[in-house]
Amino acid sequence: MSEVQSDEVCNTYIDKLALICINSNRKQLVARSVGKSVYFTPGGKREKGETDEEALRRECMEELSVNLSTLTNTAASIEPYGNFEAHAYGKPPGTIVRMTCFRVTPREAELELEHLVKASAEVEELKWIDSSFEREKLTVTGIMILEDLKEKNLID
């Protein structure tokens, strides 16, 4: 009797939401968690019963110390940007992160964030980056997002 081998890969998926924020200098906001060496697009996982928008608002408060519901000068909404999928940073092979990304609109509201965001206790550093940022300092999804923003001429 011969042994049957399968090429089928059993993947584990991590579903995350992220906020893409671009400042007045055409740079993207990224964050580095305490004790980590790479930067990620701010966001996180949904809690049970949360909508995407509720989860993103909560995560932005937790990571960026900003309330997207109360931007001061401009009525803002959260609009879908795109989806990115890749191997999850620091996870075992077969662990895939599915990142659903959003942006704040209109542009005037997004620009307000540049002066409001600040690192929370769980974030060691916030950084505004352009397309020349060192790829080895980003997660795979972070690289994909950065390249997509450059391709769409949203960042320098």
In whole angstroms, give the CA distance from residue 142 to residue 1: 47
- What is this structure's pTM? 0.89
What is the rounded distance in angstroms from the CA atom of residue 115 to the CA atom of residue 63? 15
**Low-confidence residues in the chain, pLDDT < 70:** 1-10, 72
User: Does residue 1 lie within any of the structural domains?
Assistant: no
Q: Are 27 and 132 in contact (CB under 8 A)?
A: no
Domain containing 51: what range? 17-151
pLDDT in the model for residue 53: 92
For residue 128, being part of any structural domain is answered with: yes
pLDDT value of residue 46: 93
The DSSP 8-state label assigned to residue 106 in this structure reads S
Q: Is the torsion defined by CA of 87, 89, 135, 21 positive or negative?
A: positive
Q: Does a structural domain hold residue 26?
A: yes
Can you give the CATH number for the domain in which 33 is found?
Answer: 3.90.79.10
Q: If we measure between CA atoms, which residue out of 63, 64, 57, 41 comes closest to residue 155?
A: 41
- Tell whether 50 is covered by a domain: yes
Residue 10 lies in a domain: no
Strands 12-19 and 95-105, by their bridges, are parallel
What was the pLDDT predicted at 7?
A: 45
Q: Is 106 within the bounds of a domain?
A: yes
Place of tokens 């090429």: 7
In a domain, 100, yes or no: yes
Does any domain span residue 133? yes
pLDDT at 102: 97
Residues 85, 140: Cα–Cα separation, whole Å:
9
Domain count, the chain: 1
Q: How many CB atoms lie within 10 A of CB 36?
A: 15
pLDDT tens, residue by residue, 92-132: 888 999 999 999 999 998 999 999 999 998 899 999 999 99
